[in-house]
Structure 1
């Protein structure tokens, strides 16, 4: 029997549901209005509204919602989720650090925070942190409010804020800032 898809974080075990650790939300100074990829059951992100797999956050309109928290099902549908978040224009996505993919370049964020180390997701079986995933994670910010949240986040890593008009970038690592030269778009 093939493994189901949709809620995987590239795990090699039989558990396909992995949740965002609560400490990550505590480190992000932003109030989320919507989690369109909410876990079923009682484990909840601190968003005001939650859409589960059955409610299909890709098909349900996000119109009128404020900041979105997006930890999408990892796999072939990531581009669709990021496209919807980019159009919405206000939110943060947690995805594997895959800067070599078409989706990263097509749905380029306003800022990206490359998290230091490997994020240990919460197992749906035990509600405890699981093993380390197969890749590092990054937070992609869309909109001014989300960019400011990444700037103010109490999270270790490297933050890049992009100026899409000039294709330049500002890079911050542990309090130091470096402005990259303008690039040819």
Structure 2
């Protein structure tokens, strides 16, 4: 059995690595997970399991690792809540994608958002054309907020995967 301190340190290292890696993927990835993303996350979690507990596959080793992950997550969320600078570093800043009907192509490229994805987000908010969008912002959580003076409907909707739409019919 691995010493508990080793499991704690390994689990913290893996947690920090995963947080940094997800941050580097970009905000867009947070709002919508594709099948490929889900498979990737499952494989990553399986591959880092051994890195956290080492050769210790006991119940105690797994519970120690899980407790450390829950604790680290709790502490990080509290730290982000209390410190706006660290929150900005981890979560990033909102990014303007459209201003008064003009698409900011450089920001689309930097955030790896296609024109089709932007147009789909506008339609989800009830706006037929990008030219009618006063402001489109990629939020910290990966969702796109759309504001338009031509429409009274101003909301931020979560992206719904197409498989969920089929269930409504």
What TM-score, normalized by structure 2, do the two folds share?
0.20
More helix by share: 2
What TM-score, normalized by structure 1, do the two folds share?
0.19
Higher relative contact order by CA 8 Å / sep ≥ 6: 1 or 2? 2
